[in-house]
Structure 1
């Protein structure tokens, strides 16, 4: 970029914030260093300019500079084919991303915005490759795969008329301790786990059928599949997956088609490092080693398993969507959780569960395909020195900052993204950088060619031995760059005659101290003192600047290199930070709740962290933790109520800030949802039911019933009466009656028992009185004597 006149600079000044600190531009002696110090720094190229040349444009202009070098970035569209379906183009290829090629010129710290439009074409070609686990434990599921092959083809053809499908199988590396070394034919009917007379010989991966539109071939290939044997629980699924991704020509992936891989297994997969168990230590190089004739992976015993990073990188590079389907077994919960833990490291991947007999395999594949087509997310492979920020506009909704995702996408609808690019530093080699932005799962992209403004144009036109520099240097961007051993503003001094020159040039304005007391004057120019610590530097025309007197954050100057740098006694923060010591994060990501609201509406986001209201029951990192609340229901309650315009705690303005996707439904079936069932008490005997679930991309979906549910009064056909007091009195009366009955029953029981005892006693008493038996030992105490005189 060339120099600007004072008139040009005046127009530019209108775009620069008032009160901009000039310290960010102080202390730079060369034009290239000046313009990358801060996006608002400019350089004066006037030969006779006597002030600091690196400054903000308004200061340079006010000081009389006529040639201000103030380059700015720009965006230039190179290729921009219109969005269209395949039937509307001459080459029968849909255009789903526009523009296709853009040149961007970036200045460090100055953002540039590129607009990207995406429209998912109807009836887009589909390439789907099915990789199945052929270990013996998967044999039951394999039977169902054979049975459902024809139905699977028919259902997929309802989604697209241009279908190609392929088939491959895997077991594991064919060596101990992964697979038994014994030959299958030597088992002789033994029942060992590693023996199976009907099984195929073990192999790592085999391509049974490359992608083809002949669906009969797929059905025939499925019928010929045979299981094999292995020893340990993890299998070689990721070895197979890497080969399917890397062998582009062999598998037959089309350039313009949606690409999917469906991996069905009942175990986890080995990862990088596991090969050392068999003495295989050579890292996997990620290349194709599948023999085109036999279809088998030939480097299994020479290279280790791939890493998650390799899998993710290759999937991104080739725009392939991975779906992992786990079969139900005794260890299903454990190995499925391992795959789910991998999802954050594999972009766009998802995990599903096969039924006990794999009968849901068709629905699982179709559901995965529909999830891909109904969700639009863009991603990039930008280099580390370029920050990329997205703003999405889905349907007719307003723009959503910091979002690269659109849900519930409909084919034929156009979606827009504003992509903000900011260079954080210049590339080390100074060369142009190229990267791309593309929708996940589509092999179409926006390619960005990025140039960097790291040097001034005037630096390329140095004037050698100019008279202004006394023949002792080059005139570069209005100032002299002296030869070695020469000093002075115009290179008029040399090291042998330090007394020559005007020392008045070594005093700053309104200062009586030469070189601010931190240097000495040599030939009219300040030479700043050197510090004991070589990393500490004093600089500036009058030694007024240093890189060690700035504020500290967490014990480091300006928070450390990742947060900011110390320039002329003040912190120059990286784009993501702010504050006097660069200790504050600009991003509010850590403050956002799952619903997208900052600090849940019950606090303020300060320096990237939430400060919750002291009188609020909601506390925690995002003011979402509530000791009296249930689970995450409270995090979504207000935004859910906003969707049905039911009065809650949120104002209309706060409702407008909700970013969580809320869908209003007629009824929520508790048996069909995997999320927590939440209820909001709406009034007397009334509740509103809602639930939430996690999408594959980590976002949340909330469902809420549009009508509240209330208990009806007796007059409305309900059992309960509206007057709860009478209902309560009735309950008390029943309790009293039951109590009295129990007392009466107890008293009756005691009476009957005592009556029985009394009757028994009386019976025994009567028997003792009427007995006629006499005791043989009894002698009567009376004696009868008969008088003979009265014998008659």
Structure 2
């Protein structure tokens, strides 16, 4: 339903709302948030503060989860509600991404409050950090504290004004300083009331200003006011601790009588404070409670001051000249510079022209201060600016990621928005893209970006910068840097050839070892044969036959 004060109808709509279940824990709350932001049926007023409260006890679905259900078309960030106020594209396009929600929140100036249960508070706190102007609070299990939670978070939103720029997303704090140059003659104007307000929002801050144009101790009746005060030797009026002497009397405590010429021996009026015994800073004499300072040989050099504490010759010098000569004068030991010069010795010109980059208008690129004609760059924990004009920041987070998808789809027709209608819709507000042959990463005022295309593993390059009026522009390289196609034939041929050659080498090695072994065995055989003791023409086991003769008639006698 549209925004309305009809609470009864709201209660009926909530009671009649269809309750459905889902198979997984995360919920499709991003769809509802997107429709509540972009649909005119909600009835947002132009100058009103737009507050969106999202209450849940579960985590959220985001871009890419729709693929689990076969939905691959990205969310277009447009309104798709029918006449009954129901979302019609839940099955036609994917959930919105966190970046899309953040973009729409910034575009429509929405303040979001996440009222979630304790189990989900951590994830929604991280989500609120990624969405500009979002706040997060813990909702009780029965939602009984929802009103107090919204009040508390709304107070946080309205109690501070946060301004952001489109360059780095830094938080910028503004301090208003009021300076009263003089008090109005009309006492009625010492009390004034005025307002400070932000353009576009019907809210303002009222300032009640009271000017302190006189001290209470200067008014009769105040304890600090006393006529013929003993503090002033009854010869004057004490006002705020200072004596205003009667006619013919002078001195810090009216101790001197000009008519009689009498003088007091009290030298306390010639001491700067009670902690010192030094009279007139050791550069003068005490006369009737007042210091008379010494004179210098050089008539241009003078010692002055209530206690002779000042002079015009002890200031800093630059190139041997006091206060850089004509650039300033010495007053009480410090240089007072003429317009156009500054510094302890008036050695620095206040002209910031040398701190402005040619073609630009910001002093030190808005990231530093000009001191003595040179830029002193800002440094934080995450950002360190450098360069002659503080134009460089190696540690700063650039906008490469922001421009990546548009460069990819417009120049190379690839990426998640490769469809022409998707590319034109998503990138309609992107900076103009100029296609060049080669991008140069050496320009001081341009930021170099390099990414790998997931479609073909090729690298694409672009740079972005800002023109003289501060508008961003992009220069993209026409061609991508792709790795060469691998020579498959030669790789296979090389592998096969290597296998054959290695096999032949093994065979040759085996043959060589076998030949060496055979030669060694043959040599050993030859050696044993030559060392044999018998003739090769005789049979070594042959024995001569023996003849035995026996007389059978012989009887041994």
- TM-score in same-fold range (> 0.5): no
The structure where strand makes up a greater share of residues is 1
Bin for the TM-score computed over the shorter chain: 0.3 to 0.5
Tell which structure's C-alpha radius of gyration is larger: 2
